[in-house]
Amino acid sequence: MQQLKNDFSSVDGWSEKNFRNSLVGYGDAFGNGKNYVLFDDFFGTGKTIERQATKFVEYVRNSRYKDNRVYLLAIAGMAAAKSRLDGLGLDYHSEIWLNRGISDRYGGTDVSSKRKIMKSLEKNLAALYKGQFMPSMGYGSSEALFSVHNYNCPNNVFPIFWWPVYKDYKLRKTVFKRLR
């Protein structure tokens, strides 16, 4: 969100009050005929934004305010998330749509053999760390190949790129970082 604030800093009519990371204490942000943009850096499976958007739409619908529109926005998203997003009935946009890193890039037996290779690499990683299970092939088997420099890596990304420990719990040097 901090990056978005910077991008909008020179746009007339935009200020700090246009950006919220919570509904708590921001009653003044609501009104009639408003446009709301819910931002997520990455649409992986679409479950997170679906949950947040559903709550937000319900909140606005149950408020005294009318004629509002809700939009969803992401830097990037998995093409596989589109069906879940379509089900919300909201307009959405992602600057980049990505296919699964293995299943959508290879055909036939190649898919199976490439997935086996990735799973064999994952066997070198701890299955559990700090109370969280390693999401094999990325959360929801997303097979994502995406990260933004200095952003938290999505858990949809193949864990071989970001999971912090080997199965003996020794720390790994990873390509991407993810704070859980």
pLDDT of residue 70: 94
pLDDT in tens, 150-175: 889 999 999 999 999 999 999 999 99
On whether both 85 and 171 belong to a single domain, the answer is no
**33 plus 79 within the same structural domain:** yes
pTM of this prediction?
Answer: 0.86
Instruction: Render pLDDT for 18-76 as a digit per residue (tens, 0 to 9).
Output: 777 766 666 677 889 989 999 999 999 999 999 999 999 998 888 888 999 999 999 99
Distance, in Å, from the CA atom of 69 to the CA atom of 38, rounded to the nearest integer, reads 11
Pair (66, 131) in one structural domain: no
Residues 75, 105, single domain; the answer is: no
Strands 35-43 and 69-78: parallel
Query: Domain check: are 66 and 138 in the same one?
Result: no
Do 131 and 71 share a structural domain? no
> What pLDDT score does 7 carry?
73
The larger pLDDT score, comparing residue 90 to residue 16, is at 90
Pairing of strands 69-78, 91-98: parallel
| Same domain (yes/no): 155, 89 | no
Last residue of a domain, one of 98, 132, 158: 98
User: Do 74 and 106 share a domain, yes or no?
Assistant: no
Q: Are residues 165 and 80 in the same domain?
A: no
* Distances 172 to 109, 139, 153 between C-alpha atoms, Å: 31, 20, 15
Q: What's the pLDDT at 51?
A: 95
CA distance 16 to 34: 17
Residue 113 sits in the same domain as residue 144: yes
Domain span at 47: 2-98
Instruction: Share the mean pLDDT of the chain.
Output: 91
**Domain final residue pick, 52, 69, 98:** 98
Residues 18, 85, single domain; the answer is: yes
Q: Which of 98, 126, 150 is at the close of a domain?
A: 98
- Assign 112 to helix, strand or coil: helix
- Do 124 and 89 meet the contact criterion of CB atoms below 8 Å apart? no
Q: Is the pLDDT of residue 6 over 90?
A: no
- 3-state class (DSSP) for residue 96: strand
Number of domains in the chain: 2
Q: What is the mean pLDDT of residues 8-22?
A: 73
Q: Are residues 117 and 173 in the same domain?
A: yes
The total number of residues written for the chain in this structure: 180
